[in-house]
Amino acid sequence: PEPGLPFLPGCAIKDPTKTSFHRYQTMDFKNGYAFFRLPREGVGGETLFANQLSQDELDDLCTKGATLTYGQVKRPAPSRFTPAFVAYDKKVLKFDAYFMEEVAISAEENYRIRQVGIYYYLEDDSMCIIEPKVKNSGLLQGKLMRRHRVPKNVHGDYYHWKDLNVGIDLTIYGRTYRLVNCDSFTKVFLESQGIVVNPPEELVSDPYTEQHRTPVQKRIVPTGPDPFRQFLAYDTKVLRFYAIWDDTNCAFGDHHPCIIHYFLADDTVEVREVHKRNDGRDPFPVLMRRQRLPKIFVDKNKNFPSCVLEITDHEVQEWFSPKDFAIGKTVTLLGRTFFIYDCDKFTQDFYREKYGITDFQPVDVNKKPLEKVPQVIPPYNGFGIPEDSLQNCLSLFPKPPRKDIIKMLENNLKVLRYQVALESPVPEDKNRRFILSYFLADDTISIYEPPVRNSGITGGKYLRRTKVTKPGSTPENPIYYEPSDFTIGSTIEVFGHRFIITDADEYVLNYLERNAESFPAATVQSIRDHFLPRKVVVETTSSGFPKKDLDDLIVEVQKELKLQEPFNTRQFHEAFHHCDTEGSGFLDKTRFLTLCDRFNVPTSTILLKKV
């Protein structure tokens, strides 16, 4: 555009002679390095002239903001304001000061000097005064004034850090403080604010304290024993002995571990009992209070009462001293006997220096482990089974004995039944028959007596289901009857009653044969021999002979026997059993006919041959 015209549409004049509008290249390479050079020509090849402005004009352009078409550039926002409580957080001015306090009740001093520290907090212009605590001073020291803004006058003004300086008097609540020094931070801060800090002054000390700090001339000790020498020499020095108090002579007595303290300052003795957790004793702290203990009394008049309020020195000939205590020694203190078995290191050093004792071997007082007393099981009282009654001896809360669940499931509803006869000297009991049932699930036995009409004996349950022990077994190791003990003809003793096995159920034979490997061969063979005659009868009955013809033949023989003279059936049966040596219950035809001829059986020979 022409000079003086704004750069707006319609005011620009296009030069028709310009045909190139590219920009001059300012990036180039030289000797393999890239570098930047100033442009010599403008867009379209226009010649660029050198800068004609002075240095002042250039500086003015640097500081002056660019002028836009629509006004000046907006100025940046001012810097962020930082409040005083943030800028001066944790910044405190500290001054060392003192004040004078009058003392009106002491003849040794009229006033005292108390040194304090004055703290000024810049964050909120608050102040506090703290006096360092001195041990055994007898004064209420520490924080003398809490932190707050301190009023300066009655007009409502408050003290400011500009009012503080070294070497001035500061009056706060009627008390005048003399500021004598400050720390390095306070000095730097005041000087940075244009305040000239006065030179520090010497901190005044309290004359009464300085007087007592000066060494006092020792007074000349007169000849003779000093009553306080022992206290000053042995204060806080205590001999410690470890002892055992034997109280077993009393009812419920025991060995009590104790600690004996001997105070060298005044020759007093204290006894403390060592308590352990859950020892069952009252946890009182002291067994014997601290006191002088008499060792030997002066012989008293017999009429003088033995119970007095206190024991004086005139009544005691000798008191207990350190030489009366030693390791392995037994001492009696106020009627109690203590055995000393050890002491601490300070006590050993004391006796080594004072008495020249070097043997401090402790005595072993540990109790030997008690021999375990075997538990005596009382005899079985007959109530319940022995295992159940034994639980009352093993536990306060008895539990039922454990059962073999696997055995109960495998042998459920499996029962072995036997016919037994009672062995008794009473004639009425010879013909009594019982059914003994053995339950394989839990090895229990029950006995039942079948009722017999007109026998005079009430049948029913004779023994409820329970375990039965063998004769000679003990409650500690009971031995119960097993299926292997039941054989034909064997005797079973049940709570003092003897039974003889005379017969068994066929299920017994089948069970023993199926489990023959679990039972003795004699038991299985006994049952087999007992059932052998029955098997022969079954085989004979099933051999093809009609059962009806056999029954008719027997009826015919019985009719002929009734028609003849009385026949001795008992001798006839005994002869048959005598010939049956094997006990099979069968005889051959020849022996049968021979016995019939011997006893003159009143029947025809043809009929006997048919039988």
Pairwise CA distance, residues 392 & 388, whole Å: 8
Hey, what amino acid is at 279? D
- Checking if the pLDDT of 249 tops 90, the result is no
**Model confidence at 316, in pLDDT bands (50, 70, 90)?**
confident
Instruction: Dig out the tokens for 247 from the structure.
Output: 């109280």
Residue 596's Cβ-count burial label (10 Å; 0-12, 13-18, 19+) is middle
Total number of residues shown for the chain: 611
Residue keyed to tokens 């020892």? 279
- pLDDT category at 427 given cuts 50, 70, 90 is confident
Answer left, alpha or beta for residue 600, where phi above 0 means left and psi between -120 and 50 means alpha: left
Burial class (CB in 10 A: 0-12, 13-18, 19+), 227: exposed
> Does residue 398 have a pLDDT over 50?
yes
Q: Which of 16-30, 65-79, 203-217, 314-328 has the highest mean pLDDT?
A: 314-328
In this prediction, residue 535 carries a pLDDT of: 64
Render pLDDT for 272-292 as a digit per residue (tens, 0 to 9): 999 988 888 888 889 999 999
Phi (first) and psi of residue 103, to 5 degrees: -125, 110
The architecture in CATH of the region 413-540 reads Roll (2.30)
DSSP code of 89?
T
pLDDT at 566 over 90: no
pLDDT for 223 beyond 60 = no
Using DSSP, state whether 340 is helix, strand or coil.
strand
Residue of higher predicted confidence among 475 and 145:
145
More confident residue, 314 or 65: 314
pLDDT over threshold 80, residue 373: yes
CATH class of 84-212: mainly beta
Please tell me the predicted confidence (pLDDT) of residue 1.
Answer: 43
The answer to which of 170-184, 194-208, 239-253, 544-558 has the lowest mean pLDDT is 544-558
Indicate whether 121 pLDDT > 60. Answer: yes
What is the CATH architecture assignment of 236-355? Roll (2.30)
CA-to-CA distance for 511 and 505, rounded, in angstroms?
10
**Averaged confidence pLDDT in the chain:** 84
- Residue 446 has phi, psi (to 5 degrees) of -130, 145
Which whole-number Å values give the CA distances from 362 to 287, 290, 348, in the listed order? 23, 25, 11
- Give 580's contacts (C-beta < 8 A, 6+ positions apart): 586, 587
Q: Please state, in angstroms and rounded to a whole number, the distance separating the CA atoms of residues 529 and 164.
A: 132
- Looking at residues 68-74, what average pLDDT do you find? 62
Report the share of the chain in percent with pLDDT over 90: 39
Beta bridge partners of 112: 101
Q: Do the two domains 236-355 and 413-540 of this chain adopt the same fold?
A: yes
Greater confidence, 57 or 448?
448
Mean pLDDT of 361-377: 84
pLDDT at 225 over 60: no
pLDDT at 218: 66
User: Dihedral angle at the C-alpha atoms of 403, 407, 410, 416, nearest 10 degrees?
Assistant: -100
pLDDT given for residue 228 in this prediction: 81
pLDDT score of 581:
72
- Mean pLDDT to the nearest integer, 326-342: 92
State how far the Cα of 154 lies from the Cα of 294, in Å rounded to an integer: 75
Work out the average pLDDT over 406-428: 92
Q: For residue 454, what pLDDT is reported? A: 85
Give percent of the chain above pLDDT 70: 85
- Runs of H (alpha helix) within 128-170: none
SS3 226: coil
Asked if 265 and 230 count as a contact pair (C-beta separation under 8 A), the reply is: yes
Cα 104 off chain centre by: 65
Picking from 502, 470, 474, 469, the residue whose alpha carbon sits closest to that of residue 487 is 502
pLDDT in tens, 164-189: 999 999 999 999 999 999 999 999 99
Q: Is 257 helix (H, G, I), strand (E, B) or coil?
A: strand
Residue scoring higher pLDDT (200 or 230): 200
| Position 447 pLDDT exceeds 50 | yes
* Maximal C-alpha separation, the chain: 184
Of residues 270 and 610, the one with the higher pLDDT is 270
Q: What is the CA radius of gyration of the chain?
A: 64
Give the strand order in the sheet containing 142-148.
142-148, 126-131, 111-121, 92-102, 175-182, 169-172
Is it the case that residue 196 has pLDDT exceeding 50? yes
pLDDT confidence tier of residue 540, bands split at 50, 70 and 90: low
Q: Look at residue 584 and give its three-state secondary structure.
A: coil
The ranges assigned to domains in the chain are: 27-63, 84-212, 236-355, 413-540, 556-599
| Per-residue pLDDT tens digits for 506-516 | 999 999 999 99
Q: Is-contact 239 350, C-beta < 8 A?
A: yes
Cβ–Cβ under 8 Å, residues 256 and 244: yes
What confidence tier does 461 reach under pLDDT thresholds 50, 70, 90? very high
Q: Which residues pair with 339 in a beta bridge?
A: 244, 330
Q: How far is the C-alpha of 557 from the C-alpha of 6, rounded, in Å?
A: 168
Q: At what angle do helices 589-598 and 569-579 cross, to 10 degrees?
A: 140
Residue 245: the pLDDT is: 92
8 Å CB contact between 412 and 382: no
What's the pLDDT band for 573 if we cut at 50, 70, 90? confident
What average pLDDT score do residues 334-351 get? 93
